[in-house]
Amino acid sequence: MLPNFLIIGVQKAATSWLAACLQEHPDVFMSKEKEIHFFDKYSDKGQLWYEAHFADWAGQAAAGEATPDYINNLNASQRIYAMLGSEVKFILSLRHPIDRAHSAFWHRLRQDKISSETDFLTFYRQNEQFRYRGNYFTQLSRYLECYPRESFLILIYEELTKNGQHALADCFKFLSVDDQFVPKNLNAKVNAGGKDLGTFYRQAWGLRLRSRQVALKLLPAGLQRSILDTGRRTFERLAFEVGPKQRSFERLDDELRQELLADYMPEIRQLEEWLGRDLSIWYGSSLAV
């Protein structure tokens, strides 16, 4: 079994929520693993490896997977066409490109993938690939070389967050399944942020407890209290002095947000023309020129 639809983008635009809601529909099958990355990273593993992710398919009308990085990969569209053919459908959720970039920046900070001292503007200016992720129409154009307009459902993140049920109904219609279905995850926050500090400390504390339970059984009773006290002090020093340091979230300055958005206005205009709809929800009146 191979999928007949894909959620291909974009990062930080509610794709995890969307996949979770679609998975609840009785006529939709979603791969258990979100972000399989077959068409951008693991195509060398072969079709049988990819098909194995859909082994539990039970005859649902729609079968899909969600890998947001497919949209910005240079080769994914051609690989998808070669394996899935011309009938596959695509769902994209697009977000204000600067807001998306800012959210992705903080996600990386929380995951400790970039230095906690890095500021957003510096990171944005110094990373071309990071900025490129906001060039939605350029990325979409590669898919349009293989697929017609009707193969795509484009959701706007800012509208989706205001009326998720309407967005899901559009998805269900697009996939030709019952559009009246309301999933339990409709109002849930799925993958709302990166790995936070609370998770780190809970995992570290759990590891300490498990280690204690095993190690103390091997020691004389008289040594246990001394070792427990030493272990507690050591854990606290490592966790709170050596472990990741919290950095308070910093809102993006509105003037900077508008200034940076100018980088994407040509792309937004092209997207507006292709969609045949107004996207001033992103740029407002100050950049509507």
Query: Could you give the angle at the alpha carbon of 98 between the alpha carbons of 93 and 103, nearest 5°?
Result: 75
Verify that 100 and 159 share a domain, yes or no. Answer: yes
Average pLDDT of span 261-269 = 98
Domain count, the chain: 2
In a domain, 248, yes or no: no
In a domain, 164, yes or no: yes
Verify that 85 and 59 share a domain, yes or no. Answer: yes
Verify that 169 and 223 share a domain, yes or no. Answer: no
Verify that 89 and 207 share a domain, yes or no. Answer: no
Does residue 227 carry a pLDDT above 80?
A: no
- E strand or H helix at 276: none
In a domain, 16, yes or no: yes
The residue among 257, 9, 245, 261 whose CA lies nearest residue 109 is: 245
Verify that 30 and 83 share a domain, yes or no. Answer: yes
Verify that 136 and 272 share a domain, yes or no. Answer: yes
In a domain, 249, yes or no: no
In a domain, 143, yes or no: yes
Which residues are CB-neighbours of 19 under 8 A, at least 6 positions away? Answer: 7, 30, 34, 66, 190
In a domain, 144, yes or no: yes
- Give the up-direction half-sphere exposure of residue 254: CA atoms within 13 A in the CB hemisphere: 4
At residue 193 the predicted structure's pLDDT band, cuts being 50, 70 and 90, is low
pLDDT at 114: 92
- E strand or H helix at 35: none
How far apart CA 76 and CA 64 sit, in angstroms, is: 16
* Phi then psi dihedrals of residue 240, to 5 deg: -100, -10
Verify that 208 and 270 share a domain, yes or no. Answer: no
Verify that 232 and 266 share a domain, yes or no. Answer: no
Verify that 108 and 153 share a domain, yes or no. Answer: yes
Verify that 174 and 224 share a domain, yes or no. Answer: no
Q: In the structure encoding, which two tokens stand for residue 263, read together?
A: 């980088």
Does residue 179 carry a pLDDT above 90?
A: yes
pTM summary value? 0.81
Output the domain CATH number for residue 85: 3.40.50.300
Verify that 83 and 226 share a domain, yes or no. Answer: no
In a domain, 206, yes or no: yes
At residue 188 the predicted structure's pLDDT band, cuts being 50, 70 and 90, is confident
pLDDT digits (tens, 9 = 90+) for 91-148: 999 999 999 999 999 999 988 899 989 999 999 999 999 999 999 999 999 999 999 9
Q: Which domain holds residue 219?
A: 197-242
Verify that 173 and 99 share a domain, yes or no. Answer: yes
In a domain, 49, yes or no: yes
